[in-house]
Structure 1
Amino acid sequence: MIDYTQLYQTLQHIPALRSWLAQLPAQVAENLSPHRWGDLPDWRAAFEALPDITPSNIELATNVSAGSATDATPEQLQLLEQELRKLHPWRKGPWELFGLAIDTEWRSDWKWDRVLPHLAPLENRLVLDVGCGNGYHCWRSYGAGARQVIGIDPSVKFVAQFYALKKYLGKDKPVDLLPLGIEALPQNLGAFDTTFSMGVLYHRRSPMEHLRELRETLRPGGQLVLETLVIDGELGDCLVPEDRYAKMRNVWFFPSCATLESWLRKCGFRNPRTVDLNTTSLEEQHRTDWMHFESLADFLDPRSPDKTVEGHPAPKRAVLVAEAP
């Protein structure tokens, strides 16, 4: 289902990443082990049953799509949808394959549109996307000109979704997703021109440790793109939910933008600045036919939608950028 041979060969020719190869294959093998993921045989079977269809076109710059309905037979299109639905839930997207629209929980394209104007030009850059889910922003980074894109996410369900899509978006394209968390990367890697961390920081018990790990992935002068939940407030303000936030258990710190900029400076980043602030709407995050579980509408107080069901401020997300020293 997943073959990293081409990626490993590529890393041999990137001096800053070559040393990672000493441990990377073993890390991948361990995290793709069926004893860790009981549903892995089912995901593999869905991937292997996908029809072989050659797309007449691939678009990665303005959206992520492959082919048109005329590239496939009706039977192939039916099989395509049947097998992709076995990889439910589809959270990040949207995607379109041969006219089949995968309506994901998140309009990740809207987030990309907010981030893109603030990126250092991605042409010929080596890009890392930390906690990338099924890799939507990895493909958009490549579509914006990146030379090589590596996403990491410990959820193998998302990895399976990514490679199901890559079958049609380009098996030979230098875009890959590894089943790893950031803690699996070598310390002081100093390799990437751009590192994304979007929707990850509030899941980390130690935000300072995560920011340090992110800094160590970057070459001197490389750009960090950080997107996370924040609260309104002044320097020093931070919400630490005692229990859940928007029904999420694994959440820890929600700083104000000024506080987060201060954290970035303390971790050694240069010129941290908030470039976008956006209240998440029900149109941007919602339940769909491809994601049947609860979503934002279920997480807000129906009597006061500016608050979560627990009484915390409703989700507000900020994008910050900074440079590595």
Structure 2
Amino acid sequence: MIDYRPLFNLLVEAGGQRWAALLPGQLATAFDETGHGDLRRWRSVVDALPPLTPSVCDLLDQVQIGGDSDISETARSELRERLMALHPWRKGPYRLFGIEIDTEWRSDWKWRRVKDAIAPLRNRLVLDVGCGNGYYAWRMWGAGARMVIGIDPTLLSVMQFQAVRRLHGGDAPVFVLPLGIEDVPADLGIFDTVFSMGVLYHRRSPIDHLLELKGCLRPGGELVLETLVIDGGPDRVLLPERRYASMRNVWFLPSCEALSVWLGRCGFKDVRVVNVEKTSVEEQRSTEWMRFQSLTDFLDPNDSDKTIEGLPAPVRAVFVATA
């Protein structure tokens, strides 16, 4: 398993002593095997991964660790079987020693839409809220970030990240913690860039989430926010009566104008909408590495502009703002 002591030291150096003091206890609680029936099995999968030395590591244009010729076909087959034991893989894709992990989401498409619209990440301290298995964290470090901390309470996603990190080797300053935004001390104020992508609509109180994100940023730091939106003016917000695209935990879907107002009221400046795009069934879909239902199952079969509940189909917007 990952030795988090380097993270504690890096946090202290960055002025995050309050969080560094809390983290050992938070991690011990989150990784308590009595609290999750599959955690021991996932840990055994990660622990069984062989020590490999990648001849190539490309984190700028993709997430590729290792080349096809680094291991034998037999070893690749065994590695593939172990990685498949961590199914379902939702964020990616990954290329690991010749294995193509074709994830549910083409997260590389979203990263392409985001990366040129934000402040350069070189030498920045970055927090990625709701980071999943850490795909974007690798891309952020590949773009030059000094350190990237991802937080996501989904333990399977954290174990997938640990598998990738083990295959990467080395001492990458990239970490994914099994925590939520509520576990970050209020008004920590140390991060140069904070990402929240695909999180806001899962929060019962979106305003509180925006304030939590702002509290993580240093003055002048940058927020990168991606969320579901709807058409309309500054007073237009959709609250699904029950489900949205079969998801139960979807709360507020604002218009771009409404969310811009929310950000302004929370104290953000220079609010910009840098991308608005309808989610396609090519970007989110079932694959061999994620065999459950996906977007095509959640849209009206007779009208792809609507969900199966008759609500507007998913459209996502990317906002950039300054604390």
Question: Matched residues in 2 for 1:171 and 1:5: separation?
Answer: 15
Structure 2 match to 1:286? 285
- Structure 1 residues 230-245: aligned runs within 5 Å: 230-245=229-244
Say whether 1:4 aligns with 2:8. Answer: no
Matched residue type, 2:91: K
Question: Matched residues in 2 for 1:313 and 1:29: separation?
Answer: 42
Say whether 1:192 aligns with 2:191. Answer: yes
Structure 1 match to 2:155? 156
**3-state DSSP of counterpart to 2:227:** strand
Q: Confirm or deny: 8 A CA contact 2:46 2:159 kept in the other structure.
A: yes
Shift of 1:13: 1.9
Structure 2 match to 1:165? 164
Provide structure 1 residue ranges, at least 5 long, that are not aligned to the other structure.
Answer: none
Matched residue type, 1:12: V
Shift of 1:37: 1.3
Structure 1 match to 2:295? 296
Structure 1 match to 2:137? 138
Matched residue type, 1:30: T
Q: Number of aligned residue pairs: give it.
A: 323
Question: Matched residues in 1 for 2:28 and 2:233: separation?
Answer: 45
- Structure 1 residues 25-64: aligned runs within 5 Å: 25-64=24-63
Q: Confirm or deny: 8 A CA contact 1:198 1:227 kept in the other structure.
A: yes
Shift of 1:117: 1.3
Question: Matched residues in 1 for 2:169 and 2:195: separation?
Answer: 22
Shift of 1:10: 2.0
Offset from partner CA, 1:216-257 (integer Å, 9 cap, x none):
000000000000000011111000001000000001000000
Structure 2 match to 1:306? 305
Moved more, 30-39 or 277-286: 30-39
Shift of 1:7: 1.2
Divergent runs of 4+, >3 A: none
Q: Confirm or deny: 8 A CA contact 2:127 2:195 kept in the other structure.
A: yes
Q: Confirm or deny: 8 A CA contact 2:53 2:169 kept in the other structure.
A: no
TM-score by length of 2: 0.98
- Identity between Structure 1 and Structure 2 (%): 58
Question: Matched residues in 2 for 1:166 and 1:8: separation?
Answer: 18
**3-state DSSP of counterpart to 1:118:** coil
Question: Matched residues in 2 for 1:171 and 1:89: separation?
Answer: 26
Question: Matched residues in 1 for 2:54 and 2:245: separation?
Answer: 40
Shift of 1:5: 1.9
Question: Matched residues in 2 for 1:209 and 1:256: separation?
Answer: 18
Q: CA RMSD in A?
A: 0.8
Offset from partner CA, 1:6-51 (integer Å, 9 cap, x none):
212222322x212211211101110111122110010011111112
Shift of 1:169: 2.3
Q: Confirm or deny: 8 A CA contact 1:235 1:258 kept in the other structure.
A: yes
**3-state DSSP of counterpart to 1:162:** helix
Shift of 1:171: 3.8
**3-state DSSP of counterpart to 2:108:** helix
Provide structure 2 residue ranges, at least 5 long, that are not aligned to the other structure.
Answer: none
Shift of 1:73: 1.7
Offset from partner CA, 1:281-313 (integer Å, 9 cap, x none):
111000000000100000000011110000000
**3-state DSSP of counterpart to 1:197:** strand
Matched residue type, 1:70: S
Q: 1:282 to 1:110 in 2, by over 3 A?
A: same
Question: Matched residues in 2 for 1:64 and 1:232: separation?
Answer: 34
Matched residue type, 1:3: D
Question: Matched residues in 2 for 1:89 and 1:171: separation?
Answer: 26
Question: Matched residues in 2 for 1:163 and 1:287: separation?
Answer: 23
Q: Confirm or deny: 8 A CA contact 1:51 1:79 kept in the other structure.
A: no
Question: Matched residues in 1 for 2:116 and 2:309: separation?
Answer: 35
